[in-house]
Chains A and B, each alone.
Chain A
Amino acid sequence: MKELLRKREFTLLVIIAFVLVLIVIRVPAFLEMENVLRIVNDTSILIMVSLGQLAIIVTGGIDLSVGSIIAFSGMAASMLNQYHPDISVFIVLLVGIGVGTGLGMFNALIIAFGKVPPIIATLGTLSVFRGFTFVLSKGQWVTAHEMTEKYMNLPHGHFLGLTNLIWFGIIVSLLMYGFMRYTRTGREVYAIGGNKTAALFVGVSEKKIQFVVYTLMGILAGLAGVMWTARFAAAVNETAIGFELQTVAACVLGGVSIAGGSGTVVGVVLGALFLGIITNALPVVKLSPFYQMGLQGVVVLGAMVVNSLSAKREEKRLLERRLD
């Protein structure tokens, strides 16, 4: 029980419950099924991309280019749909994912083989990929009446009472859970982030792991790009600007250590949901949306302070126990 109380995921769950209670006191309708599903639906893209960010941060890296990957792959898929409306949307979806994968691999190459620190490499590609988006679209948008009904229905369609988008979020979460917990490569991701030297000593290849996580991020961001443009029925050049920070925020809230080596899928999903709840609650509790960004920042900073303070306390507790 004590172990459970110390778990980060549990703390976050309690905080989420507390915030929900506060909101429900003011707006009882907030917890109605319809609204809950709407929040989950709104948050699904953030969950998917944050899980990619999780794997990267666990290795000790970061990917700042995700917003641009989403924009480019979303634009590519939308334009394919615009100019070749007869091509099956599944092919379009695959092309979007493929484009994202390619961009992710590009990051991976620069980081793993070019030996560029991830924060610098992805800061560079953040501009590069966004620039490509403008070049590809020639500055034009793809709007709702230029997309096919089927394309726009990709996220909105229903299956067993849930939207396709929610299903995608669930499937990605389960796959990532399995990957991080039950695969050899997942284990090596934690090893590289936990102690690079020790990992190298047992023959774990840093290059391989870096290649895997940045490419994985490309896959997820590509999927997110298609979902994003289809959901909002518009592919614009500014799609997902600043989104990378939300994914990092979801990770931090979920207890992922920025130094690498620790973090869980469950934590990140909860972290993303927490951000989603706050975003959705603001208009409901009649707070101006102008507060949204600032409030998000406050929440993340608060989480960071709690994180490092509790890490200090934990360390002290361990040291005391070791002396016995």
Chain B
Amino acid sequence: MSQPMLRLEKISKYFPGIKALDDVHLVLHPGEVHALVGENGAGKSTLVKIITGVYQPTNGKIYYKGEELDFANALEAQKHGIAAIHQEASMFPELSVTENIFMGHHIKHRGRIDWKEMRNHTAALLERMDLNINPSTTVKNLSTAERHMVEIAKALSIDADLVIMDEPTSALSLREIEDLYKIIRQLKDAGKAVLFISHKFDEIFEICDKYTVFRDGKYIGEGPVEKSALDKIITMMVGRSLDQMFPKAEVKITDPILEVKNFTRTGYFKDISFTLRKGEILGFFGLVGAGRTEIMRALFGIDKASSGEVVFKGKQVAIHNPKTAMKLGIVYIPEDRHEQGAIQDMSITHNITLPVIDELSPLGITRKAAEQETVQKYGTLMEIKAASWDVALNTLSGGNQQKVVIAKWLATHPKVLIMDEPTKGIDVATKAAVHRFVSSMAEKGLAVILVSSELPEIEGMSDRIIVMHEGRVTAEYERGQVDSETIIRAATGNLKEQSA
């Protein structure tokens, strides 16, 4: 067989407290479209960043066209002919299509930028892709799908030998996806290698030749893409040793507390209905972008739902802002603690008491004693490790910051606790503490909604599982009713294939 285009050997990448990639390998040949498959958090994106020079591996070797390489930055990788199309378009909205495409590798003629030449190249490129876009258009005036296609054109413009596509179709329409397939086939015929990352099995089966499966940062297996491979791939994706213990306690589930009926936010989720009961942990599983977070944000009053009703304790309620939700006893612990939960410059005390600062401040003056009492109670409950409650949040580890963010919501005495990816990016020990905590909340009679992309967590912790795919509920299961494979099928929109 020909020399591989790309060979990764024993690549590891460690971040503080986390092994994002652990001893993985991957081989990619010219003229091959290779699917990289895995659940969220399997390490796919980290690998892409290593190949494109954004990250440097902690250990391991990268061979590109037979030579050992070590890219110091993304531009170097680009110069070697490695192009990446990222999930979220990384474009300069105020510049023209031409300028975007040639950013970083302008065509120069006697030291001056040759605009005419670049425009011609762009026009030819766009035509080859069947795109009806004027090269001089400002990118901000393009639709999301068009931007994505321009991003792809950009990758092609450097005449790359290795093209990496990270979920390239997520923003494209069917017709554009067809166009993309055509381009991928052209690349393949020209002897280029394509690394194709997707959650959508139909795409993988349409366009890919081989697959490699990662799980929890480890290499699991590989093989040719053929009809019979689907079951094998799914098993590889989810099958894991059940060494993670989930401390889910048996709790008596009582009255309904929250009923959501035909909840819709145009463009994000549609016709969502479910009932949540006291003492229950309701798991929401789905892939990134399935619309789970959006539902929770609308329930908490951050975004406005287009239609549908919310019934809380038997009464229909209108929640237009987080204050109203908190008054009812609904709290939402957002996914991204850095962006949405933690205030880094503030002390642990001030972070925790912020949601209840009204209660702690009769006549507007904050009562120090009451504040300290609150922090002592919830800080201890969450086992936050810190030198003092008055240190700034940015002195704490990620896990402890997460605990602070949870503690602050507990202080509001919630009745419904919505947790969005509560264990994303934290170490194993803290994960266990969070799981214990979730279980103990249910024991206390709270109703918990657990949004997670980690299937073992969902399966281990939930009494009931709602599975979503592209803004809709595709299935609802009782605890232990079905196996992991079925849930993954429901989340990827492949439920019917199995029953057929």
Is the pairing of A and B real? yes
Q: Which residues of A contact B (CB under 8 A)?
A: 182-185, 187-188, 190-191, 194-195, 197-204, 257, 261-262, 318-319, 321-323
* Residue on A nearest B332 in the bound complex, by CB: A201
**Contacts A201-B334, A203-B326; is A194 near B345 (CB within 8 Å)?**
yes
Question: Bound state CA distance, A201 and B354, in angstroms?
Answer: 10
Chain B 340-357: CB-based contact to A (< 8 A → 1; otherwise 0) = 111111100010011101
- Kindly provide the distance from the CB of B361 to the nearest chain A CB, expressed in whole angstroms: 4
B321 interfacial by beta-carbon distance below 8 Å: yes
* Beta-carbon contact of B350 and A190 below 8 Å: yes
B357's partner among A188, A200, A262 (CB-CB below 8 A) is A188
* Beta-carbon contact of A183 and B365 below 8 Å: yes
List chain B residues, Cβ under 8 A from A201. Answer: 300, 302, 322, 332, 334, 340-341
* Residue on B nearest A263 in the bound complex, by CB: B345
Question: Bound state CA distance, A302 and B467, in angstroms?
Answer: 57
**Contacts A183-B366, A200-B302, A318-B394; is A261 near B361 (CB within 8 Å)?**
no
List chain B residues, Cβ under 8 A from A323. Answer: 16
* Beta-carbon contact of B343 and A198 below 8 Å: yes
A187's partner among B341, B366, B396, B408 (CB-CB below 8 A) is B366
* Residue on B nearest A185 in the bound complex, by CB: B364
Give 18 A-B pairs besides A184-B358, A322-B16 with Cβ atoms closer than 8 angstroms.
Answer: A183-B361, A184-B360, A184-B366, A187-B357, A190-B345, A191-B343, A191-B354, A194-B343, A194-B346, A195-B339, A198-B340, A200-B302, A200-B322, A201-B300, A202-B355, A203-B323, A203-B326, A323-B16
**Chain B residues touching A, majority SS:** helix
List chain A residues, Cβ under 8 A from B355. Answer: 202-203
**Contacts A198-B340, A200-B322, A322-B16; is A183 near B346 (CB within 8 Å)?**
no
* Beta-carbon contact of B322 and A318 below 8 Å: no
* Beta-carbon contact of A184 and B343 below 8 Å: no
Q: Provide a sorted-by-A list of 16 A–B residue pairs whose CB atoms are within 8 angstroms.
A: A182-B365, A182-B366, A182-B368, A190-B343, A191-B346, A197-B339, A198-B339, A198-B341, A198-B342, A201-B322, A201-B340, A203-B322, A203-B355, A261-B345, A318-B395, A322-B16
List chain B residues, Cβ under 8 A from A257. Answer: 345
Question: Bound state CA distance, A115 and B364, in angstroms?
Answer: 27
Question: Bound state CA distance, A182 and B366, in angstroms?
Answer: 5
* Beta-carbon contact of A203 and B321 below 8 Å: yes
List chain B residues, Cβ under 8 A from A190. Answer: 343, 345-346, 350
B244 interfacial by beta-carbon distance below 8 Å: no
* Residue on A nearest B399 in the bound complex, by CB: A322
B141 interfacial by beta-carbon distance below 8 Å: no
- Kindly provide the distance from the CB of A129 to the nearest chain B CB, expressed in whole angstroms: 30
- Kindly provide the distance from the CB of B48 to the nearest chain A CB, expressed in whole angstroms: 24
* Residue on A nearest B355 in the bound complex, by CB: A202
Question: Bound state CA distance, A318 and B321, in angstroms?
Answer: 35
* Beta-carbon contact of B354 and A187 below 8 Å: yes
Chain B 15-34: CB-based contact to A (< 8 A → 1; otherwise 0) = 01000000000000000000
Question: Bound state CA distance, A199 and B368, in angstroms?
Answer: 21
* Beta-carbon contact of A202 and B366 below 8 Å: no
* Beta-carbon contact of A184 and B339 below 8 Å: no
List chain B residues, Cβ under 8 A from A183. Answer: 361, 364-366
Question: Bound state CA distance, A262 and B394, in angstroms?
Answer: 13
B58 interfacial by beta-carbon distance below 8 Å: no
* Residue on A nearest B391 in the bound complex, by CB: A3
List chain B residues, Cβ under 8 A from A184. Answer: 357-358, 360-361, 364-366
B3 interfacial by beta-carbon distance below 8 Å: no
B397 interfacial by beta-carbon distance below 8 Å: yes
- Kindly provide the distance from the CB of A145 to the nearest chain B CB, expressed in whole angstroms: 45
Question: Bound state CA distance, A322 and B395, in angstroms?
Answer: 7
- Kindly provide the distance from the CB of A262 to the nearest chain B CB, expressed in whole angstroms: 5
* Residue on B nearest A197 in the bound complex, by CB: B340
| 6 A-B pairs closest in CB distance | A203-B323, A194-B343, A184-B361, A203-B322, A202-B355, A261-B345
- Kindly provide the distance from the CB of B494 to the nearest chain A CB, expressed in whole angstroms: 35
- Kindly provide the distance from the CB of B298 to the nearest chain A CB, expressed in whole angstroms: 14
- Kindly provide the distance from the CB of A73 to the nearest chain B CB, expressed in whole angstroms: 26
List chain A residues, Cβ under 8 A from B398. Answer: 322
List chain A residues, Cβ under 8 A from B322. Answer: 200-203
List chain A residues, Cβ under 8 A from B340. Answer: 195, 197-198, 201
**Contacts A202-B354, A203-B326, A204-B354; is A261 near B334 (CB within 8 Å)?**
no
Question: Bound state CA distance, A277 and B346, in angstroms?
Answer: 32
* Residue on B nearest A195 in the bound complex, by CB: B343
* Beta-carbon contact of B344 and A195 below 8 Å: yes
List chain A residues, Cβ under 8 A from B394. Answer: 318
- Kindly provide the distance from the CB of A157 to the nearest chain B CB, expressed in whole angstroms: 31
List chain A residues, Cβ under 8 A from B16. Answer: 319, 322-323
List chain B residues, Cβ under 8 A from A318. Answer: 394-395
List chain B residues, Cβ under 8 A from A322. Answer: 16, 396-398
* Residue on A nearest B321 in the bound complex, by CB: A203
Question: Bound state CA distance, A200 and B323, in angstroms?
Answer: 9
Question: Bound state CA distance, A321 and B16, in angstroms?
Answer: 11
- Kindly provide the distance from the CB of A60 to the nearest chain B CB, expressed in whole angstroms: 12
Question: Bound state CA distance, A197 and B322, in angstroms?
Answer: 12
Question: Bound state CA distance, A203 and B342, in angstroms?
Answer: 14
* Residue on A nearest B337 in the bound complex, by CB: A198
A195's partner among B342, B353, B365, B366 (CB-CB below 8 A) is B342
- Kindly provide the distance from the CB of B236 to the nearest chain A CB, expressed in whole angstroms: 33
